[in-house]
Structure 1
Amino acid sequence: MTAFLAHATRSPRRSARSALTLAVALAATASLTACGSASGGASAQPSSPAGVNESAAPTPSTTSTHNATDTTFTQMMIVHHQGAVQMAQLAADRAVTYEVRALGKRIVAAQGPEIERMSRWLASWGEAAPSGLDGASDTGMTHSSMQVDGMDQSDATADLTGRTGKDFDRQFLTLMIAHHQSALDMAKVEQTQGLNADAVELSGSIATTQTAEMDEMRAMISRLTAS
């Protein structure tokens, strides 16, 4: 240290030049380090503008996304449900077996809101809705075109209306099993060919619910036959 101070005292100009050279070298090194950090971070993702939450960006709604299969399924299932509700209401009012009356009430309670839901879909899609039970249909889907155990819907309902007692209960169950089977056939097509997420989901729910009800109704028929 003493030698260094002595040297600095003897050579002030040389010492000043050395200090200037060191400062320039340090500045150049710092600049190169900064550039290296910038180039090394090229793989980093650009930051979002302040206040923007990218994860909260809206996604397109699937409500109006549909194809011809969705439209046909929805139109047909509305008409099909209307027929089921008509027969089920008769069972809720006239069946002599408690479990048959209870089943009728369950079907009315479940399928009535589904009719309203599907009607809203058709309106949002800009598609024609089928008419009511007794009206003409612009879609070509009427209760006369719905077959129930070899009869159209109107004839099946009339046949059921003319029965009483346990005979009514058995016929209701027989007709409703056949009616549910046609719903399963329609649901299967929608599940494999439909596009609208809501309609496909409903078809799956219908298949699950009505398959279970068919098993329940077969058991009821067996008990009625044995009694």
Structure 2
Amino acid sequence: MRHLAAIGAVLLVTACGSTDAHDAGHPPAAASPAASTAPSTAPSAGPFNGTDVQFATDMIPHHRQAVDMAAMAATKASDPGVKAIAAKIRAGQEPEIATMAGWLTAWGEPVPSPGAMHHDMGDMGGMPGMLTDTELRQLGAASGAAFDKLFLTLMIKHHEGAVETATTAQAQGESPAVKQLAGAVVASQTAEIAEMKALLDKLP
């Protein structure tokens, strides 16, 4: 009887120990979903080079200027087609600005502040397609049909500069994320250039 009691005690202790070990394993299992989502919050993982940094540094002010131009069209344009493409440009480029700012932060590079790139840099070998101060003043002073024509003319030039810069990033950049966005810029803005040229041809 003593022998049986001893065996029973050992089995009871063993069972309790197994339950405790099982219970102790629950917290890591519960924490694993949060751990698995952590990598997705880290932007621009992977290699990058100077071309990637330059692309983001130049394209952020370039996109901001396009967004500003598109905002003008919301109140100054008279053609529904012009208003529509301006809204599409704004909706497409605002998220890209945030993405590129995230890259620069992750790379330890400064994010250009609003107005950091002077508009006249477009005439001084800076980012291609940037409007000059004079062009911006002309666009701001126009309205109606005159605005429509000037907006399309200047935005076509602006887009062509972005396509040029993005093509360089595709060829010379190292970051897969930059190459992907650069490819998207080339595709979307080339299509928008064609759309704007068609709109311009239809204007009286």
Superposition TM-score, scaled by structure 1 size? 0.66
Partner of 1:179: 158
Which of 75, 93, 102 matches 2:84? Answer: 102
Structure 1 CA distance for aligned equivalents of residues 96 and 76 of structure 2: 24
Structure 2 CA distance for aligned equivalents of residues 176 and 191 of structure 1: 22
Structure 2 CA distance for aligned equivalents of residues 175 and 116 of structure 1: 24
Residue 112 in structure 1 maps to residue 94 in structure 2: yes
Q: For 1:58-69, what aligned pairs fall within 5 Å after superposition?
A: 63-69=45-51
Structure 2 CA distance for aligned equivalents of residues 131 and 200 of structure 1: 24
Does the 8 A contact of 2:62 with 2:130 survive in 1? no
Does the 8 A contact of 2:122 with 2:128 survive in 1? no
Partner of 1:211: 190
Does the 8 A contact of 1:170 with 1:221 survive in 2? yes
Partner of 2:8: none
CA deviations 1:153-208 (Å, max 9, x no partner) are 43222110111211110100000000000001101110100000111100000000
Deviation, structure 1 residue 150: 8.5
Q: Which has the bigger relative contact order, CA under 8 A and spacing at least 6?
A: 2
- By percentage of residues, which structure has more helix? 2
Q: For 1:141-180, what aligned pairs fall within 5 Å after superposition?
A: 141-147=117-123, 152-180=131-159
**Matching residue's letter, 1:154:** D
Cα distance change, pair 104–62 in 1 and its aligned pair in 2 (3 A): closer
Structure 1 CA distance for aligned equivalents of residues 128 and 57 of structure 2: 21
Structure 1 CA distance for aligned equivalents of residues 202 and 189 of structure 2: 20
Unaligned segments of structure 1, at least 5 residues: 1-57
Alignment length (residue pairs): 160
Structure 2 CA distance for aligned equivalents of residues 106 and 156 of structure 1: 22
Residue 125 in structure 1 maps to residue 101 in structure 2: no
Alignment RMSD (CA, Å): 2.2
Please identify the structure whose Cα radius of gyration is greater: 1
Partner of 1:17: none
Unaligned segments of structure 2, at least 5 residues: 1-38
Which shifted more, 146-155 or 193-202? 146-155
Deviation, structure 1 residue 151: 7.6
Superposition TM-score, scaled by structure 2 size? 0.73
